[in-house]
Amino acid sequence: MLEPIFSPLIALIGPFLLWPIEIFLPYPFIFEELLKLILVLCIISIEPLRSRLGAGIGLGLLFTASETILYTMNALSGSPSYLLERFVVTGLLHSATIVCIILGLRRGRVGMVIGVLLSMGIHYAYNILI
């Protein structure tokens, strides 16, 4: 099990590690949510639940910041309003899906699977609608 101290680093470099995989396997919602499961497993030892949820939201925002930079560099459309809009919307998405995984994990392995599948469904719906 990874120590919680490594989770911010994983959240920051995660999108850059996933980007080459997502080029060949176009299912970003699956790979991103599996990476978020790893992040949640890093912070599972944090007590109480409120602190764990806060850490999860923070990790979601770090993941969002890194992903926004990655996609903005690739799209070459770095207007400040675009960056802010993308950060707010995807920040809510990534933080919400991490919270789903954290809450699911409280119910054991079955809850973990349900939480991950729910977060994949939310992410897939976001990708289709946005």
Residue 58's pLDDT is what?
A: 97
Q: Are 32 and 100 in contact (CB under 8 A)?
A: no
Residue 26's pLDDT is what?
A: 87
Query: What is the token pair recorded at 4?
Result: 């919680």
Domain with 68 in it? 4-129
Query: What is the token pair recorded at 49?
Result: 């639940």
In the chain, the number of structural domains is: 1
Residue 75's pLDDT is what?
A: 64
Q: What parts of the chain have a pLDDT lower than 50?
A: none
Rounded to whole angstroms, the Cα distance separating 24 from 37 reads: 22
Q: Which residues have C-beta within 8 Å of that of residue 71, sequence separation ≥ 6?
A: 86
* Structure confidence by residue, pLDDT tens digits, 88-97: 999 999 999 9
